[in-house]
Amino acid sequence: MAARKKATVNDRTELLEALDELEKEKQISKEIIIQAIESSLLAACKDEYGKSDNIKVIFDRETGAIGVYAEMEIVEDDLLEDETTQMAFSVADAKYKNIKVGDVIDIEVTPKNFGRIAAQKAKQVVVQKIREEERKVLYVQYLEKEREVITGIVQRYSGRNVCINLGKVDAILMESEQVPGERFRPTEHIKLYVVEVKDTPKGPRITVSRTHPEFVKRLFEEEVTEIQDGTVEIKSIAREAGSRTKIAVTTQIPDVDAVGACVGMNGARVNAIVEELRGEKIDIVNWSESPEVFIENALSPSEVTSVTVDEEEKTARVIVPENQLSLAIGKEGQNARLAAKLTGYKVDIKCEETL
């Protein structure tokens, strides 16, 4: 049984309307906020007035009034031991109706000036809950963009790192995630690959990159309709950011040219990606279930005489004409290195004239 004084109505309408508005606009549960207010006020009450453990704070959901109550057990007069948690039956019977020994009732013990403390704490809790909810919403929003390409606006350089505005949050493009030689102007719009999104007390921390191999893959997915609808599939990709990328594609539809679809009419599609990558070279090759054929394709643009593979050891011996050797290996070994990454085989290139 509870015995409480009638709740006051000072400022109740404003507070209740504010909670209703929060629930409607920001989808923050009014009950969660009220419970948080009660917990916060209980802690403040104990800090301020040293109340015992039988004290609780109750927010009246109908009126908005906030009161402090003590739970009191009704005991026989001669068994009264602790007046902070017990009330003698004779005292209770004189104050309240239908009281009997063993009942537990709530007695209002709201301290003077508690209304001021309650108002301050309620405001703090509401503000905190709004911030938490907005942070959570932002985190979920950007978590959905993880491993995707987004567009950001360059703000400024911070040392060698670049501050990027992504709309509602900022991200730092670290030097290690920048393509060597790239420079950006303030207010310039650039595309970025979202590597990871982490939830932190200060909001989502977003790791972005322009060097990640998946960045090129996602750009092709955006640009090539046949990749979007599943007609063409990207099987593997190898990249040395800022210099060269090799990408292997395939299709299950005989009438579709997978490489041609990625290149586009007059090279329009691949050129758009090359422009975004500031001139990075892109080799598009046909993937094959046959390791020999795939390795030969991966060494494009060089010609290959023969390929011998050891599937268990994942090694390949490639023979090329003498005039193709430097092209097959590439500048500083880049073509062979990327072909190895693309196929997953260690590639050993030999010239047929030296055999």
Task: Name the architecture of domain 145-209.
Answer: Beta Barrel (2.40)
Task: Name the architecture of domain 212-287.
Answer: 2-Layer Sandwich (3.30)
Task: Specify whether domain 12-136 bears CATH 3.30.1480.10.
Answer: yes
Write out pLDDT tens, residues 203-261.
Answer: 899 999 999 999 999 999 999 999 999 999 999 999 999 999 999 999 999 999 999 99
Distance (Å) of CA 109 to CA 10, 37, 65, 67, 119: 18, 18, 14, 8, 17
What confidence score (pLDDT) does residue 49 get? 61
Q: Which residue has the tokens 């090359």?
A: 274
What confidence score (pLDDT) does residue 48 get? 65
What confidence score (pLDDT) does residue 321 get? 93
Write out pLDDT tens, residues 148-175.
Answer: 999 999 999 999 999 999 998 999 999 9
What confidence score (pLDDT) does residue 6 get? 40
* Rounded CA separation 342/299 (Å): 10
Distance (Å) of CA 231 to CA 219, 253, 254, 258, 331: 16, 7, 11, 8, 34
With 0-12 CB in 10 A as exposed, 13-18 as middle and 19+ as buried, what is 353?
exposed
Helix (H) / strand (E) element for 240: namely strand 232-240
Interhelix angle 12-26/114-143, rounded to 10 degrees, is 10
Q: Tell me phi and psi for residue 6, to 5 degrees.
A: -60, 135
What confidence score (pLDDT) does residue 22 get? 81
Q: Is-contact 88 95, C-beta < 8 A?
A: no
Q: Is-contact 61 47, C-beta < 8 A?
A: no
Q: One fold for both 12-136 and 212-287? A: no
Q: Is-contact 38 59, C-beta < 8 A?
A: yes
What confidence score (pLDDT) does residue 60 get? 85
* Rounded CA separation 216/145 (Å): 16
What confidence score (pLDDT) does residue 11 get? 60
User: How many Cβ atoms are within 10 Å of 321's Cβ, its own excluded?
Assistant: 15
289-355, what's its fold? GMP Synthetase; Chain A, domain 3 (3.30.300)
Domain borders along the chain are: 12-136, 145-209, 212-287, 289-355
**Which residue ranges of the chain lie beneath pLDDT 50?**
1-8, 10
Q: Which residue has the tokens 């978590």?
A: 143
3-class DSSP state of 328: helix
